[in-house]
């Protein structure tokens, strides 16, 4: 994947950066090309070797047209939920490392849901805050809206997500009850048919 000066890119777990320069540097006698990124959240410069772009997961920022899809995903009631802390933390860490906004949204939804029912560990609380920051900062940068405005919209979408999840759970329970009732009625109906 190649980028040009001025491109907005996402550096996994660090957020949005802007390609300021493409340069060559010699380090320990080896010359290689680098993208010089200015990270918007911290105003620091990060050098990413051209040969390692895919390895670190550098990707283009989302487009304006993708923002609506992200909010739909944020508000959907589909939440990945693991009971086992170790498995959950590993899965969420793996998703965060990909840098893919959809994966980060999954982590945000999962940890937000969990935080409503119990206290998160320090590491999960940090991951929840980090995932929220990454989602808000990318959408804010792409749309040009303030971080506060996007933070509010993300909060409302997460609230919708919890409501939609509750509806899904209630509907699944209702379907289960109806299936049990249908199973109970079927044998009785067969027995009366044979008698006549």
Long-range CB contact pairs, 88-93, < 8 A, 24+: 88/124, 89/123, 89/124, 89/127, 92/124, 92/127, 93/127
For residue 25, pLDDT over 70 is answered with yes
Q: CA Rg, the chain, in Å?
A: 24
Neighbouring residues of 161: CB distance < 8 A, sequence distance ≥ 6: 74, 75, 76, 77, 79, 109, 112, 113
Residue 13: pLDDT band (50, 70, 90) is confident
Which pLDDT score, from 0 to 100, does residue 72 have?
Answer: 92
CATH class given for the domain over 64-162: mainly alpha
- 196, pLDDT greater than 50: no
CA separation for the pair 57, 77 (Å, rounded): 28
106, 95 Cβ separation under 8 angstroms: yes
The yes-or-no answer to whether 8-60 and 64-162 have a common fold is no
Burial of 183 (0-12, 13-18, 19+ CB in 10 A): exposed
The band of 190, judged by pLDDT with boundaries at 50, 70 and 90, is low
Is the pLDDT assigned to residue 193 strictly greater than 80? no
Q: Does domain 8-60 have CATH number 3.40.50.300?
A: no
Q: Give pLDDT tens digits for 144-177.
A: 899 999 999 999 999 999 999 888 888 888 888 8
Angle at 156 between CA 77 and CA 166, to 5 degrees: 30
Q: Structure tokens of 193?
A: 């048919």
Residue 192, pLDDT above cutoff 80: no
Cα(113)–Cα(84) distance, integer angstroms? 15
Beta strand 59-60 pairing with 15-27? unpaired
What's the pLDDT score for residue 173? 87
pLDDT in tens, 107-148: 999 999 999 988 999 999 999 999 999 999 899 988 989 999
Q: How far apart are CA 103 and CA 59, in angstroms?
A: 14
pLDDT greater than 60 at residue 191: no
What average pLDDT does the structure give for the chain? 87
Report d(CA 46, CA 35) in Å as an integer.
8
Query: Parallel, antiparallel, or unpaired: how do β-strands 59-60 and 45-49 relate?
Result: unpaired
Task: Report domain extents, the chain.
Answer: 8-60, 64-162
pTM of the model: 0.78
């Amino acid at each position: 994947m190649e980028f040009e000066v001025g491109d907005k890119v996402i550096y996994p777990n660090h957020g949005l950066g802007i390609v300021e320069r493409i340069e060559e540097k010699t380090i320990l006698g080896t010359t290689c090309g680098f993208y010089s990124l200015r990270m918007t959240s911290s105003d620091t410069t990060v050098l990413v070797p051209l040969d390692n772009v895919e390895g670190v997961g550098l990707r283009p920022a989302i487009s304006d047209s993708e923002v609506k899809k992200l909010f739909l995903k944020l508000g959907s009631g589909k939440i990945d939920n693991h009971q086992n802390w170790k498995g959950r933390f590993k899965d969420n860490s793996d998703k965060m490392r990909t840098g893919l906004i959809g994966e980060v949204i999954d982590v945000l939804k999962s940890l937000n849901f969990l935080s409503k029912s119990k206290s998160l560990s320090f590491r999960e609380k940090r991951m929840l805050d980090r995932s929220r920051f990454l989602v808000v900062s990318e959408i804010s940068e792409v749309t040009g809206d303030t971080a506060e405005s996007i933070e509010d919209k993300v909060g409302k979408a997460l609230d919708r997500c919890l409501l939609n999840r509750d509806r899904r759970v209630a509907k699944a329970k209702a379907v289960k009850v109806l299936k049990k009732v249908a199973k109970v009625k079927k044998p009785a109906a067969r027995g009366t048919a044979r008698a006549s």
